[in-house]
Amino acid sequence: MTDKKSKPSQPTCGIIMPISLIDNCPPEHWHDILGIIKDVCNDSGFIPNLVSDADDIGVIHNRIIENIYSSDIVICDVSCKNANVMFELGMRLAFDKPTIIIKDDQTGYSFDTSLIEHLEYPRDLRFTSINKFKENLGKKLIATYDKSKNDPNYSTFLKNFGKYKIVQLEDREITSDIYLLNSLEELKRDVRIIKGMSLNETHNNQGRNGSLKAGPKTHNTTTKQWITGKVDDYLKNVNPSAPFDHESVIQEIVESIKDNPLVAYVSNKDTIENIVREKIELL
């Protein structure tokens, strides 16, 4: 009796892309793009996953960085040049792991990444053009992954410029007691966020029904506390002797947090800006 060979596990494909309104492209547009990318991954034998997604409960920034690092290959959509997307792409390129960059036909090239091939698709998602794009993306996905596995000199980005030490994530060992305490704290934090989202949805529904007036003050307290905390973190790094332009600071903070999944689903940009402005003007 011979042992059966274990079936090789499917490689993972991380997905980096916008998820909220930007450049007149609503969340529904990005949902359609995500579906297209996932179809290509599944048809090509890869397990697709947004880098912000995970089966376990944990700090979202840790989850994103871990997925950016550990995914066998990454597809990054730089359409509209979303700041968070470009930052996450930069981290992936620093790890020098296989990466495919895509963009729509209305987005120009960025200077720093223009030397990397970009696959292009139509922003209006025309059926025939999208089918061609899916075919090209599937071929590129398989070819890039195979080359990264079989070519010891393969490099997505860094080795084109010389010899560099590739960044790696450090593995840390902790006791089971510390792990359980950290998990409980993360669970409590996520429950507070979910509770806040639920309260916000209830308030907005009541406002639409006329029993409670909906307006900019109906954002939930948990989200507001998180945003004001980010303002405090930003101000800690500001030189007190430097000129302080309120409007510039407000816009910079808003841009840095508006697409974070912790706030993207419960607050629009105007609401976030109101919270930041309220905090800054108290200074």
Digit-coded pLDDT (tens) for 5-64: 545 689 999 999 999 899 999 999 999 999 999 999 999 999 999 998 755 444 456 778
Share of the chain above pLDDT 70, in %: 60
User: pLDDT, tens digit, for every residue of 216-231?
Assistant: 444 455 667 777 777 7
Least confident of 51-65, 99-113, 114-128, 173-187: 173-187
Please name the residues in contact with 217: beta carbons below 8 A apart, sequence gap of 6 or more. Answer: none
Between 132 and 66, residue with greater pLDDT: 132
Q: Provide the pLDDT for residue 267.
A: 56
CB 227 within 8 A of CB 277: no
Parts of the chain belonging to CATH 3.40.50.450: 12-160
What one-character DSSP code corresponds to residue 14?
A: E
CB 16 within 8 A of CB 75: yes
Q: Provide the pLDDT for residue 230.
A: 73
Residue 171 has pLDDT above 90, yes or no: no
Q: Provide the pLDDT for residue 151.
A: 87
| Confidence band of 239 (pLDDT split at 50, 70, 90) | low
Q: Provide the pLDDT for residue 1.
A: 44
Between 42 and 275, residue with greater pLDDT: 42
Cα–Cα distance for residue pair 92/70, rounded to 1 Å? 10
CB 263 within 8 A of CB 227: yes
Query: Residue 193: which of 271, 276, 278, 266 has the closest Cα?
Result: 266
CB 254 within 8 A of CB 272: yes
Domain 12-160 sits in CATH at 3.40.50.450
Cα–Cα distance for residue pair 24/8, rounded to 1 Å? 43
CA distances from 101 to 74, 118, 184, 277 (A): 8, 5, 37, 35
C-alpha 54: how far from its chain's center? 12
How confident is the prediction for the chain on average, in pLDDT?
A: 75
Most confident of 19-23, 110-114, 242-246: 19-23
Q: Provide the pLDDT for residue 250.
A: 75
Q: Please compute the mean of the pLDDT values over residues 222-246 and round it to a whole number.
A: 67
Q: Please compute the mean of the pLDDT values over residues 111-131 and round it to a whole number.
A: 89
Phi, psi of 268 (to 5 degrees): -85, 175
Q: Provide the pLDDT for residue 33.
A: 96
> Looking at the whole model, is its pTM more than 0.85?
no
Query: Residue 14: which of 93, 69, 80 has the closest Cα?
Result: 69
Between 269 and 95, residue with greater pLDDT: 95
